[in-house]
Structure 1
Amino acid sequence: MQSTLREIKLNGSFNFRDLGGYETKDGRRVKRGILFRSGNLSLLTEDDLKVVNQLGIKKICDLRGVDEIDKFPDPILDGATWHHTPILSDEQMLGQVGEQTSFADVLRNTKPGELLLHLNQNMVSFKNAFQQVFKVLLTETHTPLLFHCMAGKDRTGAVAALTLSILGVSREIIVEDYLYTNETLTQMNTNFEKIGYNDLPNIDKSVLDALFEARAEYIDSFLDGIEANYGSVEMYSKEVLGLSDEAINLLRSNLLE
């Protein structure tokens, strides 16, 4: 996978990657320069913006909640339209494990990894959220799109998993792509320290490690939930997301080579 992965190194962001190059089960490949994923963009430097603008990104799907966007807004990219396509609201995050009053309270009352297992399992039911993302993706499918959340891991990972699976990329590669976030944990930590996003006092280290790391069981719980309830991602995309055969063929024709 290292030969196909294209990480774009930036000073003010992390986990910024081109999803192009991955091989599908029928021997085609995802086109380079069309699908990008990343973590928080709010600290992009002027030099970073020059690099990102050169990618020709025309559409941005911001998967974060309103509170995150208000605190850490995206910069404006030349010629790009910004779309708020939240995968998880602040209320949904607090509701993952009981009725807590803050995110820190949630973490103090969960076992390591429990929050993200719940999140990934529950994301299967986030019909409207994924529909919004694919509506943007299907608008001028040949133009470069960037989707991101804060860590560029779980919400971003779910969108990447759905998209790559619909394109015919194997589950093994999709899980490997998800796990690559662990190669960027140092940069993530630096980014989050600067904005105070990881200032979570009195939280057990094992819980924090489980929160920021990418673990196979997280993305597996999302994909397993889809397969258990719908048989396959393609059936999920048709029955839940409402994608027609024409839409799926359009994605494959424009995003594969």
Structure 2
Amino acid sequence: MMRLIILPLAALALLPACDNHAGQPNAEAELSPVAANDMALTDKRRVLDLEGGVNFRDLGGYRTTDGRITKWETVYRSGSPAGLTDADNAELARRGIRTFCDFRSNEEREEEPNPYVVKNSDVEYWTRDYAMDSGGLGKVLAGPNASADNSRKAMISIYRTIAQDNSESYAQMFRYLAEGRTPLAFNCSAGKDRAGTGAALLLSLLGVPRETVVADYALSDDVVDYRAKIQEAADSNPSYAALAQLPWETVKPLVASDPAYIESALDALENEYGSVDTFIERKLGVTEDMKRAIIKNLTEES
């Protein structure tokens, strides 16, 4: 059985935010939410400069369709926290992260514990008991019909049920956010599939345009050099070693943040529930009062 891999954060050189000259109008404010968010994606605050973080990103700075903006240093998405160093833990503590929602399975957490919550006993650490089965995906990767196209189709299929399969995790995250238990971080292993879907649901609830929701998801491909990390870890990790022996073109769709994947997840919810908001309400139990509280806690006037 082959499960989704854990990929450490690669360095990313981001464009500096544009400064407005005194006395000149704020050009960014004149942009549409989507255009402004395209600029916000490259904000130097987006990706945390951590030594051992995996795809650790701030969800702040995104404009919503009703003229608000998501707060910085309030909600973070991440991959496995196992590699966090003492300096990283100090930085997260400086940011005041007091709630961690870990979407990983029992086995994943046992193999790679979260050192931040170990060192900070006052941090609320939420997990759930479940086993992760990626055997079907392993058969696609190593089977007689293995190909890049079949790997991509398998990932699109997985994403059609990913929100439903992890609904308990997302429901708890939304409860914490409604209660104002921020700053909050949520994570999976690579930080792109379970965490990526959670981020898409949250940004959708906040009113961030669909184009930005998809772009935030796809950003993982720019943050992590997946191929290099697989090769680096192949000597010490059997799962990485198995992947390293397969043709890269077959493996690449597994580790990609293809926009078609998150589109598949969102389309599936719209087809079954009528809208993503209805799924969040009916399946995740987010009431109108909770939604208003989340928006108040996580956004501000732009």
TM over 0.5: yes
Contact residue 197 and residue 262 of structure 2 kept, 8 A: yes
Q: Alpha-carbon deviations, 1:75-114, whole Å to 9, x = none? A: 134342211147x7313x33xx3xxxxx644531352223
CA drift at 1:125: 2.3
Match of 1:217 among 232, 239, 260: 260
Match of 2:204 among 165, 183, 205: 165
Larger radius of gyration: 2
- The one-letter amino acid of 2:288's match is D
Q: 1:46 to 1:124 in 2, by over 3 A?
A: closer
Which residue number in structure 1 is paired with residue 213 of structure 2? 174
Q: 1:192 to 1:163 in 2, by over 3 A?
A: farther
Q: 1:157 to 1:70 in 2, by over 3 A?
A: same
Is the counterpart of residue 72 in structure 1 residue 109 in structure 2?
A: no
Which residue number in structure 2 is paired with residue 100 of structure 1? none
Is the counterpart of residue 30 in structure 1 residue 70 in structure 2?
A: yes
Q: Secondary structure at the match of 2:66?
A: coil
Match of 1:84 among 113, 120, 127: 127
Match of 2:240 among 198, 208, 218: 198
Please give the TM-score of this superposition, normalised by the length of structure 2: 0.75
Q: Percent identity?
A: 31
Q: Secondary structure at the match of 1:147?
A: strand
Q: Matches of 1:145 and 1:75 in 2, distance apart?
A: 16
CA drift at 1:128: 2.8
Q: Secondary structure at the match of 2:126?
A: strand
* Contiguous gaps of at least 5 residues in structure 2: 1-37
Q: Alpha-carbon deviations, 1:16-44, whole Å to 9, x = none? A: 11101100000100111111011121111
CA drift at 1:48: 1.5
Q: 1:254 to 1:80 in 2, by over 3 A?
A: same
Q: Work out the number of aligned pairs and report it.
A: 247
Is the counterpart of residue 11 in structure 1 residue 51 in structure 2?
A: yes
Contact residue 140 and residue 151 of structure 2 kept, 8 A: no
Q: Matches of 1:180 and 1:48 in 2, distance apart?
A: 22
Is the counterpart of residue 42 in structure 1 residue 82 in structure 2?
A: yes
Which residue number in structure 2 is paired with residue 151 of structure 1? 190
Which residue number in structure 2 is paired with residue 107 of structure 1? 141
CA drift at 1:124: 3.5
Contact residue 189 and residue 198 of structure 1 kept, 8 A: no
Q: Matches of 2:154 and 2:79 in 1, distance apart?
A: 19
